[in-house]
Amino acid sequence: MLVTLEILREATIRLSNPVGQTIGVVGGIVIGTVVVQSNLISNMMVVVVAFTAIASFVIPVYEMRSTVRLLAYPNIILCAIFGFIGLELSFLLILTHLARLNTMGIPYFYSGLLGGSIKDTLIRGPLGSLKERPKESLAKDEMRIESPRGWNE
């Protein structure tokens, strides 16, 4: 059912806007009705797939959305084979992969909340206090700008 959803999703993306939306809605209704009436899947499966399709629009970045969609298939296979242990195993594998990632020499899960760079993380500090670059950037020039506001303080 998830493969059928992906085919419908790709068809709606590739077609023009009004036609694509119409085909997506009508195709979803027709395919869902046919599959349930032929007793291939249950009504609950259609509800779960519909909820999954709607929830996939919560992710704003297309690259991240495609990553989540691609990771769904190995997760489904592991869960089908090993059950709840497979779900835990897939979650552990994803976390292990993310923990090994580096972005420009900084670990992906690095919080940056320790040290002087806390002023530039969750809540940005006043511009006057942001004269130095964060220590984690390993920049040659540690000063950002002499006066961030454009006048001398």
pLDDT in tens, 15-74: 777 777 787 778 878 888 888 888 888 888 778 777 877 777 788 887 888 888 888 888
Please tell me the pTM assigned to this model: 0.61
* pLDDT at 152 > cutoff 70: no
Domain range for 7: 1-58
Residue 83 located in a structural domain: no
Residue 94: the pLDDT is 93
Whole-angstrom CA distances from 61 to 17, 47, 65 are 19, 25, 6
* pLDDT at 148 > cutoff 70: no
Lowest pLDDT segment from 37-51, 84-98, 135-149: 135-149
Band the pLDDT of 92: cuts 50, 70, 90: very high
Last residue within a domain, chosen from 58, 74, 101:
58
- For 71-96, what is the mean pLDDT? 91
Last residue within a domain, chosen from 24, 43, 58:
58
pLDDT in tens, 105-134: 778 887 766 666 666 667 777 777 777 777
* pLDDT at 5 > cutoff 80: no
How many domains does the chain contain in total?
Answer: 2
Residue 146 located in a structural domain: yes
Last residue within a domain, chosen from 58, 82, 99:
58
Band the pLDDT of 80: cuts 50, 70, 90: confident
Residue 151 located in a structural domain: yes
Residue 75 located in a structural domain: no
Residue 67 located in a structural domain: no
The residue among 151 and 14 whose pLDDT is bigger is 14
Residue 85: the pLDDT is 94
DSSP string, 14-78: HS-HHHHHHHHHHHHHHHHHHHHHTTSS-HHHHHHHHHHHHHGGG---HHHHHHHHHHHHHHHHH
Residue 47 located in a structural domain: yes
Residue 121 located in a structural domain: yes
Residue 86 located in a structural domain: no
Between CA 61 and CA 53 the distance in angstroms is 15
